Amino acid sequence: MTTPIDISEQAGVRYLHFGSSWVQGAMRIARPWNLELEYTREMMASLLLREETRWPRKILLIGLGAASLTKFLYRYRPDAHLTIVEIEPAVVAAARHFFKLPEDDKRIHLVIGCGADFILGTDKKFDLILVDGFNEHAHPGQLNSLPFYQACRSRLTEQGIMAVNMLGLSKGVLGGFTHILNAFEDRGLMFPSCESGNTIAFAAEGDQVSISLEDLKLNAEILKKETGLNLLPTMTRLAQAKICANNMLII
């Protein structure tokens, strides 16, 4: 990447940029473990979809950014091992220097490289795969392709969930979601778009996700009590969108 990494601060929030005003990540300096950006909070709706209390144990994050998701999961899922794949070494340096990326080789395995190459080359399985990788033009490149999503599916456990930030797709969000549906044989769901324009898509492998919107709300209340993360507005938007037949979320 030839574009410089820039850091800015405003009203107590530190931002990561790739040589433009477009925000690649953010951290509220007084609360570095919190999820400042709405789309990162919505990606954590993954945690509402499986009933097992210690899930997920093995997590893959493609794209580090300001390490927001990494820090949240590191803190609130203490039994989990996190593998992070980031293509740009300068982003890793910025995450360590400016965004409090934890230094813990026992629980965090950091790989400098292409996320698509990693997923196509690894034989490891993961309970949760989070895809949030973009270049300076907000394009995901190979990370939005049928072969990539097929490879992600093959790397998920029987409890596996994938969550994808679909901002900036060159063929539009629906085109990217079609790749996901094809790769996962229609086992996908796209949440209503965030105010920021980000759209989060989820897909599942193995055991079916089948949960009522009422139980999903209860799970969100428990997560809020445990972590401070409030996903209740997201649950309200999901119910209002009427994309879950008979008020059941099934993936």
pLDDT band at 175 (very low <50, low <70, confident <90, very high): low
Residue range 18-43, pLDDT digits in tens:
866 678 899 999 999 999 999 999 99
Sign of the Cα torsion 186, 205, 124, 42 reads positive
Sign of the Cα torsion 117, 120, 121, 127 reads positive
Residue range 113-130, pLDDT digits in tens:
999 999 999 999 999 999
Q: What are the tokens at 138?
A: 């907000």
pTM of the predicted protein model: 0.92
Sign of the Cα torsion 165, 118, 103, 96 reads negative
Q: What are the tokens at 100?
A: 């409090």
Q: Which domains, and CATH codes, for the chain?
A: 38-227 (3.40.50.150)
